[in-house]
Amino acid sequence: MVPDEAPARYRTLSVIMPVYNERSTVGEMIRRVRAVELPLALELIVVDDGSTDGSDKVLAALGDSTVRVITHEQNRGKGAAVRTGLSAARGDLVIIQDADLEYDPLDWQRMLDPVFKYKATVVYGSRFTGERRNMLPSHWVGNRLLVLLTNLLYSSTLSDMETCYKLFDRRVLDGIELESDRFDIEPEITAKVLRSGHRIYEVPISYAGREISDGKKITWRDGIVAVVTLLRYRLRR
């Protein structure tokens, strides 16, 4: 359990929520985020990445003093949305929260615990060590291959590199420059965090994976891009 009080250096958790055509889920995800009890202030930054399905109307109805909505006029990709959110975030801690209901904000407590106990400044929520709904076989194999490559290239022992649940002490992010616009933001962040000398702490999280028919957007092509990204940042001086 997370302590009743956060360490003095941590006052605000910034939650960056990229949204692209998530009209059916974004309202429920914002409700779940608001319901989480935390020992520090919460800043929710929703980046609508050029949605065309009416997500903007849902967000307009939900926006208030606890939700800041930033809009991209055109779809630029998850990485661009995350970078936009980071540029606006004011928190001492930052977590990325997808709007598709695959990840449960109640797991934030597990992720905050090692940070509050001074065990880590970067925490990943692993989908492969906690309870989960089974993935499609192709996604499972792809994730296993990518994490193996990550561990070989960066001398790490991760179980889940592609997890979307990544929590950072803001000072870690201030020390790296992110460039990716699309799903390659995941391997880029991991590569640059590891290359900068930070160790990544993993905790088990629950995972309710969805399928392409439910709106899942990542494909096998993004897996190939992830491989290229991992190799590029390992070889770059």
Q: Hey, what domains does the chain have and what are their CATH numbers? A: 12-235 (3.90.550.10)
Q: Please give the C-alpha separations between residue 236 and each of 150, 176, 195, 228, 233, in angstroms, as whole numbers.
A: 15, 14, 10, 12, 5
Q: Which residues pair with 95 in a beta bridge?
A: 15, 167
Could you give the CA distance from residue 115 to residue 119 in angstroms, rounded to a whole number? 6
What tokens were used for 2?
A: 């997370």
Q: Please give the C-alpha separations between residue 122 and each of 74, 127, 199, in angstroms, as whole numbers.
A: 31, 16, 7
pLDDT in tens, 173-228: 999 999 999 989 999 999 999 999 999 999 999 998 756 545 555 676 778 989 99
| Nearest CA-CA partner of 34 in 18, 49, 15, 60 | 15
pLDDT in tens, 149-182: 999 999 999 999 999 999 999 999 999 999 999 9
Could you give the CA distance from residue 205 to residue 189 in angstroms, rounded to a whole number? 20
Could you give the CA distance from residue 223 to residue 229 in angstroms, rounded to a whole number? 10
How high is the pLDDT of residue 175?
93
How high is the pLDDT of residue 68?
93
pLDDT in tens, 220-236: 677 898 999 999 999 88
Instruction: Report yes or no: 29 and 100 within 8 Å, Cβ to Cβ.
Output: yes
